[in-house]
Amino acid sequence: MRHLRMCITALSAAALLLGTTAATASAAPSPATLTTGAWPDGFEEPVVPAPQPFTYMAAGQTFGPWTVGGGSVDLVSDRLWDAAEGDQSVDLSGGAPGSISRTVPTLPLTTYVVTYKLAGNTGGPSPVVKTGDVRVNGALIDDLTFDTTGRGPRDMGWEQRTAYFTTVLHTSATLTFTSTTPGNRGPAVDDVTIRSCLLVLCLHKGPQLSPHSG
C-alpha cells in the first residue's frame, strides 16, 4: 500500500508539473502581442473638400495629430494623385519646403520602428529627385530620397520605408518629416506608423536618443 501511495503521489506531481508547463506555454505572448503601442496615420483627416485637389497647410497649422513647420505642405486628395493608402497623402513642399511633426508617448529603453510610404510630386519642372529627412527629437533616422523619373499621378511608385530609434530616458518622441527639395513640389509621404518592439524582435537597432537630444 505504501508503494502504491508513493506511485500515486509521483503521478500527481508529474501531472501538476505538466499542467503548469502547459499553462505557462499557453500564456506566453505571441510576437504580435509584444508591442506596447502603435500609432498609425494615413492622413485621411480632415477630408480635402471636393472639387479641390489639395488643401494648403501653412506653418503652425495642425491637421489630425500633425503640426506643420517650415514653409508649408499640401494635404493631397486622390483627385490629384493616387495615395498609397486610403484617399489622401502629404506633399512636404507646399508653397515652399515644409515639414510635419507629431509627438507620441514612449517608454525608456525601448526601440521603436517607423514605417511609411514615400513617393514624390511628379508635376512641373522642379527637380525630379525629391529629398528630405526623417528625424525623432531632432536626431536623424532616415533620408528621404525619391526619383520621380517615369512616374505620374496614377503611377506614383510608392515605396515602403522603415526606420528605427531607441529611447533612453524619454517618455515622448517627436517624429518629423522634412522636405529639403527646392520649390513647391517635394517628397510625398503616406501611411505612417510608429510601433514599439522588443530589442530582440527588431532586425535593426536605430540611433539612441540621448537624454539631451531634441
How does pLDDT run across 4-25, given as a tens digit for each residue?
Answer: 333 333 333 332 222 222 222 2
pLDDT at 199 over 90: no
Q: Look at residue 21 in the predicted model and tell me its pLDDT.
A: 27
Q: Is residue 138 part of a domain?
A: yes
If pLDDT is split at 50, 70 and 90, which confidence band does 33 have?
Answer: very low
- Cβ(86)–Cβ(45) below 8 Å: no
Amino acid symbol at 112? Y
Q: Is 22 part of any domain?
A: no
CA separation for the pair 81, 127 (Å, rounded): 18
Count: domains in the chain: 1
Cα dihedral: 16, 22, 26, 29 (round 10): 90
Domain hosting residue 159, numbered range: 31-209
27 or 135, higher pLDDT: 135
Q: Assess if residue 26 is contained within a domain.
A: no
Residue at 68 is within a domain: yes
Across the range 70-80, mean pLDDT stands at 97
pLDDT of 124-172, one tens digit each?
877 999 999 999 999 999 999 999 999 999 999 999 999 999 998 889 9
Selected residue with higher pLDDT from 54 and 22: 54
Q: What is the pLDDT of residue 179?
A: 98
With cut-offs at 50, 70 and 90, classify the pLDDT of residue 79.
Answer: very high
For position 204, what pLDDT does the model report?
A: 53
- Of 181, 168, 204, 190, nearest to 133 by C-alpha is 181
**Quick check: is 60 in a domain?**
yes
Inside any domain, residue 6: no
- Are 177 and 143 a contacting pair, CB within 8 Å? no
Supply the CATH number for residue 37's domain: 2.60.120.260
CB 156 within 8 A of CB 81: yes
Residues with Cβ within 8 Å of residue 50, at least 6 apart in sequence = 77, 79
Asked whether residue 1 is assigned to any structural domain, the reply reads no
User: Looking at the predicted structure, is the pLDDT value of residue 211 above 80?
Assistant: no
pLDDT confidence band for 208 (50 / 70 / 90): low
Report helix, strand or coil for 70.
Answer: strand
Does 4 fall in a domain?
Answer: no
Region 119-127 average pLDDT: 91
- pLDDT surpasses 90 at 62: yes
Instruction: Name residue 102's beta-bridge partners.
Output: 175
